[in-house]
Amino acid sequence: MRSVKVSNRILLGLIAFGVSFFLSLITNRDFPKALVTGLITVPATYAGAIVVQIKQRKQKFFLQNEIRAISDERQNLEDDLYYLESSLNQLHGQIAESYNRREVINREVSTLGAYRYQLEEQGFILQTQLEVLERQKTELNESLLAATAEKQKIETSLNSLKTELKKLQEQVTDNQNQKTILEQEITNLKKQKRPLQSEVDNLQAQIQTLEAQRTALNQSLVSLKVELGQLQGQVSSLKLEYKQLKSWNLNSQKAQKGQSQAIPFIEIQKKQSSENLSAEWIALKTKLTNDDIQIIKAIVEQKNPGTTLKKIAETNITMPQLLIDAINEHAINTIGDFIIEPGSASIPPEIAEEHLTKVKKMLET
Residue 317 has pLDDT above 60, yes or no: yes
pLDDT in tens, 38-69: 788 878 887 887 888 888 888 888 877 777 77
Among 29-38, 164-173, 268-277, whose mean pLDDT is lowest? 268-277
List of residues 6+ apart from 24 with CB closer than 8 A: 30, 33, 34, 37, 38
**C-alpha pair distances (Å), 172 with each of 29, 129, 176, 186:** 48, 60, 6, 20
pLDDT in tens, 220-242: 665 665 566 556 556 555 655 65
Residue 259 has pLDDT above 70, yes or no: no
> What's the average model confidence in pLDDT over 278-304?
89
Output the pLDDT for position 230.
Answer: 58
> What's the average model confidence in pLDDT over 100-124?
75
Output the pLDDT for position 242.
Answer: 59
Q: Which residue has the higher pLDDT, 192 or 146?
A: 146
Residue 194 has pLDDT above 70, yes or no: no
Residue 246 has pLDDT above 80, yes or no: no
Output the pLDDT for position 296.
Answer: 92
Q: Across all residues in the chain, what is the average pLDDT?
A: 76
pLDDT band at 264 (very low <50, low <70, confident <90, very high): very low
Output the pLDDT for position 348.
Answer: 86
pLDDT band at 276 (very low <50, low <70, confident <90, very high): low
Output the pLDDT for position 269.
Answer: 39
pTM score of the predicted model: 0.30
pLDDT band at 265 (very low <50, low <70, confident <90, very high): very low
Q: Are 98 and 78 in contact (CB under 8 A)?
A: no
Please give the angle made by the CA atoms of 278, 354 and 359, to the nearest 5 degrees: 50
pLDDT band at 262 (very low <50, low <70, confident <90, very high): very low
Residue 243 has pLDDT above 60, yes or no: no
> What's the average model confidence in pLDDT over 23-50?
80
pLDDT band at 4 (very low <50, low <70, confident <90, very high): low
Please give the angle made by the CA atoms of 290, 294 and 296, to the nearest 5 degrees: 115
The top-scoring range by mean pLDDT among 94-108, 133-147, 175-189, 302-316 is 302-316
pLDDT band at 294 (very low <50, low <70, confident <90, very high): very high
